[in-house]
């Protein structure tokens, strides 16, 4: 238990440090003055300032989140126009790269972890299931979960048609979006009364929210194949996460959003399964952190990039107070969402 907790704290903290480390390294590359690099928050446990450096490195008591403070980055700060080390006095190109470097660092970290796993433990590849259709996982807030379907259940029939594998289940379910559909389920060797589940419409296909139980084997990949996978997978994961966000917006729900507690629970479960599962979930979260921060929303890196894009196109800086107000409102909204999902994750 203690090992799982420590590994979870280490893994999630590492991803935050990677993100802020990207900002830090880019800022220093362009000669910006970084005054603080904080790991965690709350009371300070340790601090260190290298001789001759402007940067104070801090470790907080609560080992989650990290941030860097770049001098002159706050739009409402009074700045000296003759100070060459300020963020605000650097070229728009330098500022864009500095902001983009955080999400990029998360994507780079995901690629490095994929490459390392593929060359060491090997990459996990599914063994083609031949049947029966055993439920491996039921998605939260899905029609299947609402109907009472559980992991380990065997789907025998769907709308009167025999089901031998996941492909046959999809064949029956996909055309029946929004239509009540009968499923015959076997649980612990006993047949249950038929369940009526209405598949949800996801991009024009009916989905009930189950994944099949799949057996895996590990295959160590050649260097070229591992490198290709390290480039391809973060892109594929980003696509899936964007589709999921689109669904959340459409359904006006926060059920798919996780706060620090929710992420911690998932990582802790993966730690207990082994090193591959632990690193794999860190890869997923690292891509999610990078992708989320690139969304064009105030207070996120993507929101800052929008203002920098405006400056790049118009060759005029946006009004400092207007930009600061927009970011402040965005931050308040994000903190509210985080508080909401964290409360839900704690009580669930």
| DSSP states along 44-70 | EEEEE--TT-SPEEEEEEEEEEEEEEE
Domain extent, residue 28, equals 2-120+282-347
For residues 191 and 80, is the Cβ–Cβ distance under 8 A? Answer: no
Q: Which of 87, 70, 77 is nearest to 24 (CA)?
A: 70
C-alpha 40/C-alpha 9 separation (Å) is: 11
Q: Does the CA dihedral 201-136-138-239 come out positive or negative?
A: negative
CA–CA gap between residue 235 and residue 230 (Å, rounded): 9
pLDDT for 71: 93
Q: Do 33 and 76 reside in the same domain of the chain? A: yes
Are 199 and 139 spatial neighbours (Cβ–Cβ below 8 Å)? no
pLDDT number for residue 255? 62
102 and 192 belong to one structural domain: no
3-state helix, strand, coil in the chain (%, to 5): 50, 20, 30
Give SS3 for 292. helix
Same domain, yes or no: 147 and 87: no
Is 171 a domain residue?
yes
Is 164 inside a domain boundary?
A: yes
- Does residue 12 belong to any structural domain of this protein? yes
**Tokens describing residue 280:** 């794999």
- For residues 171 and 138, membership in a common domain is answered with yes
CA distance linking residue 327 with residue 304, whole number of Å: 8
> What kind and span of H or E run contains 15?
helix 2-29
Tell whether pTM > 0.85. no
Q: Which residues contact 313 (CB under 8 A, 6 or more apart)?
A: none
- Whether 305 and 327 share a structural domain: yes
147 and 110 part of one domain: no
Does some domain include residue 310? yes
Strand locations in 5-111 (E): 34-48, 56-70
* Crossing angle of helices 320-347 and 301-314, rounded to 10°: 160
**pLDDT at res. 203:** 78
Of 212, 233, 264, which closes a domain? 212
- Do 53 and 113 share a structural domain? yes
In degrees and rounded to multiples of 5, residue 188 shows phi and psi of 55, 40
Establish if 252 belongs to a structural domain: no
Is 232 among the residues known to form the active site? no
Radius of gyration of the chain (CA): 24
CATH code where residue 163 lies: 2.30.42.10
Tell me what pLDDT residue 256 has.
62
Identify the segments of the chain with pLDDT beneath 50: none
Q: How far is CA 57 from CA 10, 21, 63, 74, in A?
A: 18, 12, 14, 20
Element (H, E) at 201: strand 200-202
Q: Which of 20, 78, 239, 323 is catalytic?
A: 20
Domains contained in the chain, number: 2
Angle, CA 296 vertex, CA 293 and CA 297 arms, to 5° = 80
Task: Tell me how far apart the alpha carbons of residues 27 and 25 are, in angstroms, rounded to a whole number.
Answer: 5
* DSSP E strand stretches across the chain: 34-48, 56-70, 123-126, 133-138, 154-158, 161-162, 181-187, 190-191, 195-197, 200-202, 205-207, 210-212, 216-219
Residue 92 counted as domain residue:
yes
Residue carrying the six token digits 């959340």:
248
């Amino acid at each position: 238990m203690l090992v799982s907790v420590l590994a979870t704290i280490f893994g999630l903290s590492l991803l935050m440090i990677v993100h802020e480390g990207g900002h830090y390294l880019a800022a220093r590359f362009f000669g910006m003055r970084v005054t603080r690099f904080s790991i965690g928050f709350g009371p300070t446990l340790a601090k260190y300032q290298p001789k001759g450096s402007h940067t104070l490195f801090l470790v907080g008591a609560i080992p989650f989140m990290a941030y860097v403070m770049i001098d002159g980055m706050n739009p409402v700060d009074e700045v000296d126009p003759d100070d060459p080390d300020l963020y605000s006095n650097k070229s728009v190109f330098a500022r864009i790269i500095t902001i983009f470097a955080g999400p990029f660092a998360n994507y780079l970290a995901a690629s490095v972890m994929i490459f390392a796993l593929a060359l060491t433990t090997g990459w996990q590849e599914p063994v083609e299931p031949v049947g029966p259709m055993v439920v491996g996982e039921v998605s939260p807030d899905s029609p299947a979960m609402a109907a009472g379907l559980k992991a380990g259940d065997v789907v025998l029939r769907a709308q009167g048609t025999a089901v031998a594998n996941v492909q046959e289940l999809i064949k029956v379910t996909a055309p029946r979006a929004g239509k009540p559909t009968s499923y015959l389920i076997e649980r612990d060797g006993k047949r249950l009364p038929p369940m009526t589940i209405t598949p949800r419409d996801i991009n024009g296909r009916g989905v009930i929210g189950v994944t099949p139980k799949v057996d895996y084997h590990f295959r160590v990949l050649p260097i070229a194949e591992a490198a290709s996978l390290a480039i391809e997978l973060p892109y594929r994961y980003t696509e899936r996460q964007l589709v999921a966000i689109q669904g959340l917006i459409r359904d006006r729900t926060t059920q798919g959003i996780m706060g620090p507690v929710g992420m911690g629970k998932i990582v802790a479960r993966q730690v207990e399964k082994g090193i591959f599962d632990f690193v794999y979930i860190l890869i997923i979260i690292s891509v999610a952190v990078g992708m989320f921060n690139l969304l064009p929303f105030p207070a996120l890196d993507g929101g800052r990039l929008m203002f920098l894009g405006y400056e790049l196109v118009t060759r005029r800086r946006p009004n400092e107070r207007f930009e600061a107000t927009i970011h402040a409102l965005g931050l308040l909204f994000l903190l509210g969402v985080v508080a909401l999902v964290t409360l839900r994750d704690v009580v669930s």
